[in-house]
Structure 1
Amino acid sequence: MKKVNSGLVYLGLKIDSRHTRREILKSRIVYIINFFWLNGDVLGAIICFINAVINLKSFEKATYIAPCFVFSTFANSRAYTLVHYNTEINSIINTLLYLEDRENKKPKSKERKDIIHRGLCFLNIVISGTKVLNIVLVMTFFVSPLVLVVVKYFKTNEWKLLLPFLITYPFDPYDIRYWPFVYIHQIWSEIIVVLSTCCTDILLYIFCTFISIQFRLLQYEIRNIFKNQCRNREEFHDVFIELVKWHQKLICVSKTLDIVYTKSTLLNFLVSSIIICLTGFNFMVFEDKMLACTFFVFLSSNLLQIFFLCYFGDMLMRSSEEVSSAIYNSEWYSKGRGIGKNFHIVHARSQKPCKLTAFRYADVNLRAFTSILSTAWSYFALLKTLYK
């Protein structure tokens, strides 16, 4: 959470339920400034795209602009998610902190440590990799226009100023008086987009990982409930009730997580195929190696973003489904009819998995990822045919 908040503080979206009203007001002012800063460029990019289509200009120019403002629109929805669902997000955090604190008070065992270590180790690798890739993405768009300016100067012996993105302004952005400020403006807009997407995605990865860890710890408890030597039936009943309450908390927090992310996830699914198609097309057709390299990094970033979203959604779903297997593999059949009935109820409920959805349009899992790639490939084949 500290890693996420270190990025969100620059967007005015820092998550902390202990904020005073004054701190919240300051944070929202920063968010509003960034919102208008970014969307001024988005509007300019849309106007530039419309002009390119209407005037039948370069096909590559239209495909260069489109993925940038589409991805920026998606970043807007991700940032708004943190503003609109701030209460729900803090509720998820408090619930997971309570469950983690509860786990820390239990007797330690090798199995418990392995469950926690495996989940956190993979999470840290993904967070580090995501941060590195997004830094490379920002630096690529920052450096490539400057390199192209220098290369063209040595070829033609004249300065032709370039910008990272094709955006229409009410003035000439290539005028040397305005060019440095416009360049910095566009790069900060890109940083806003990258931080909005990266930080909200990492927050989702954290939530999915910790909920999955709790489901696996619950499975461990269920499998070993009969191995613990309970003194009497009442003591066993109390232990069983605690496990049921634990399961209910995890179901509730999973539903809250779905409420927070479901709408922006639907938008993510809708735009991902378009972005992957367009960036892949740009990588294939641009003769300039620097521009091709830029869009290759952009393509890699988008592919990993949608893959990890689907992967962590799939991980959450599988870990909740496996509770039913843990119940089935316990020794419920040897402890009397009443206990068997109670276990049957929990078993029936756990067969309905907790999951993330794209506004109930589709489940977020690895199958959805393959569907997105399939759709993107269809769009790409059509676009390539039209280009030829």
Structure 2
Amino acid sequence: MTIQKISFDDVIMLNRVTLRGVGILKFPGFKKSSSKIIQGFLIALMMANALYLMISMSYVLIFSNHEMTTLLSTMAPLMSITSGSSRYLLAVYNKVLIERILEVNKQVWNCATKQQDYETLKNYGLRARALTAMLFGSASLTVVFFLATPILAITNEPMDFYSNSTGNFALRRALPLPSPFETFSSPYYELAYVAQGIATCYLGVAVSTVDALSTVLVIHGCAQFKLLNNRLLGIVRQDLQSASNYYGHDQRARFFKTSFRFHRSILEYCYTLEAVVSISNLISVLTCMCAISFCAVNIVRGGADLLKFLGLFMVFIMQMLFVCWPADYLSSESTNIAFAFYNCSWYNYEKSIGSSIQIAIARSQNPVALTAGKFVIMSLETFTSILSSAMSFFAVLKSI
């Protein structure tokens, strides 16, 4: 009997909509050729926005006469955009694997016919949806800070980098991000502001989509381990409550064979997930560690851009937390399976089942680990190390 009240597609609706909106997932109801054209257009649009922002800031950075103020204020946004667009391209490259992983989750969700199994998957699915909402909310708030900062930063000062046509004092109107062109006069300022606003919004959606996808896939991996753990603990409780000997019973043999297959499928899921997120995690670790330091320096210095860098600082911290914490949780859930198998009274079953349980125990004693390019295991300990390194780099920058 089917007891599901909401489907897997409903749980990840926000993720699916945004993944299609940035060209990673196919559009349903379209022909294959039409869907590819739409995806290609969306990918090209996103990369055009990213290149526009990166080229503009790189130009300002190169021709700023190596001014420390310009360097510090430009590096954090530039690293954020470069890192985000790189992770987006990796997601586009791995879109076939992403679709396969989502399909596996959907199959697990559809096979949960018992109320307890459904509630387990539902609880983890709602957690993943809440984390997705938090990521998009923080990204939206940061974009608002970016767009609002120039309005609050309008001052009457002589232009210190570009000279206007008259060479006189002019109203200096800032843009959300550095621009290589003189856009202080209307309508060039308004056009540049709108262009940067649109590019920043679309890039923010794309990067948040990729970050949220990684978190959601890891959380659903945790749900699968928890589902298997609950099933094994249910067998343990039945054994404790019953005095009968289940040795050689066909029902238990079928249960354990199904559990072994499910365990192997979860491990394959995690290996595929590692292939998808490994390089992306490495990019996040390297850029966030440096960008957090640049943001902290700008926050300490204060000024008109304080709000903008405060938002960026918050996003970088949250990004690393949502990369490290779910990965740490996944490792913990994977090792719990060893205890669950061990408590199943494996010594009371026939030799083939007992041997298979021992193999499953040995396999589960090596925790599943998501890494950053195979160099660093993502965990809460790694998160604290990243923050510690970022603060050390911040101390160096602050002393310059």
TM-score w.r.t. the length of structure 2 is 0.86
- Which residue number corresponds to residue 189 of structure 1? 199
* 1:5-20 equivalences in 2 (<5 Å): 5-15=16-26, 20=32
Q: Give 1:136's aligned residue.
A: 141
Q: Kindly report which structure 2 residues correspond to 1:307-386, keeping only aligned pairs within 5 A, or say none.
A: 307-386=321-400
Deviations 1:108-135 (A, max 9, x none): 24xx465335423432332222222111
Inter-partner Cα distance in structure 2 for 1:116 and 1:127: 16
Distance 1:15 1:75, change over 3 A: farther
Residue 71 of structure 2 is aligned to residue 66 of structure 1: no
**2:85 matches 1:76:** yes
- Cα distance in 2 for partners of 1:208, 1:299 equals 24
Pair 1:337–1:15, CA change in 2 (3 A): same
Structure 2: tracts of 5 or more residues without a match: 1-11, 158-168
Q: Secondary structure at the match of 1:266?
A: helix
In 2, Cα distance between equivalents of 1:113 and 1:218: 12
Q: Pick one of 116, 123, 132 that aligns with 1:127.
A: 132
User: 1:40 aligns to what SS in structure 2?
Assistant: helix
Quote how far apart the aligned CAs of 1:275 are: 0.5
Aligned residues: CA RMSD: 2.3
Of the three residues 15, 35, 53, the one matched with 1:41 is: 53
Determine the C-alpha separation between the residues in 2 that align with 1:114 and 1:204: 22
- In the other structure, the counterpart of 1:221 is 231
SS in structure 2 of the partner of residue 38 of structure 1: helix
Task: Tell whether the 8 Å contact from 1:15 to 1:90 is kept in structure 2 after alignment.
Answer: no
In structure 1, which of residues 67, 85, 94 is the aligned counterpart of residue 94 of structure 2?
A: 85
For residues 199 and 122 of structure 1, what CA distance do their matches in structure 2 show? Answer: 16
Question: 1: CA distance between counterparts of 2:27 and 2:278?
Answer: 22
Q: In structure 1, what is the Cα distance between the partners aligned to 2:377 and 2:333?
A: 15
Q: Secondary structure at the match of 2:383?
A: helix
Look up the SS of the partner of 1:280 in the other structure.
Answer: helix
> In the alignment, what sits opposite 1:108?
115
Deviation of 1:377 (Å): 0.9
Unaligned runs of 5+ in 1: none
| Preserved contact between residue 215 and residue 320 of structure 1 (Cα < 8 Å) | yes
Q: Is the CA contact 1:279–1:298 (under 8 Å) kept in the aligned structure 2? A: yes
Q: Counterparts of 1:341 and 1:56 in 2: how far apart (Å)?
A: 67
CA distance in 1, matches of 2:98, 2:340: 29
Q: Which residue of 2 aligns with 1:30?
A: 42
Contact persistence 1:38–1:189 (CA under 8 A): yes
Preserved contact between residue 38 and residue 192 of structure 1 (Cα < 8 Å) = no
The TM-score normalised by the length of structure 1 is 0.89
Q: Is 1:243 the equivalent of 2:252?
A: no
Residue 309 of structure 2 corresponds to which residue in structure 1?
295
What per-residue deviation string (whole Å, max 9, x for no partner) do you get for residues 253-301 of structure 1? Answer: 1111111111111111111110000001100012x2x421221111011
Give the partner amino acid of 2:337. Answer: V
Q: 1:159 aligns with which of 149, 168, 171?
A: 171
2:249 equivalent among 219, 233, 243: 233
Conservation of the 8 A alpha-carbon contact between 1:8 and 1:195: no
The whole-number CA distance in structure 2 between the counterparts of 1:18 and 1:269 is 38
Asked if the contact 1:13–1:28 (Cα under 8 Å) also holds between the matched residues in 2, the reply is no
Counterpart position of 1:95: 104
Secondary structure at 2:24 match in 1: coil
Aligned to 2:166: none
Structure 2 CA distance for aligned equivalents of residues 168 and 15 of structure 1: 37
% of aligned pairs identical?
A: 19
**Distance (Å, rounded) in 2 between the aligned partners of 1:339 and 1:56:** 69
- Please give the alpha-carbon distance, in whole angstroms, between the structure 1 residues aligned to 2:23 and 2:183: 28
Closer, same or farther: CA 188–8 of 1 in aligned 2, 3 Å: farther
Structure-2 separation of matches of 1:384 and 1:275: 14
Number of residue pairs the alignment of both structures matches: 371
1:338 and 1:256 map into 2 onto residues whose CA distance is: 29
Partner of 1:252: 268
Q: Report Cα offsets for 1:65-122 as digits up to 9, x if no partner.
A: 011111111111121122111111111011111111111x2x324xx46533542343
Query: After the TM superposition, which of the residue ranges 18-27 and 223-232 deviates more from structure 2?
Result: 223-232
Q: Distance in 1 between matches of 2:101 and 2:118?
A: 23
Could you tell me how far 1:346 is from its partner in structure 2?
0.6
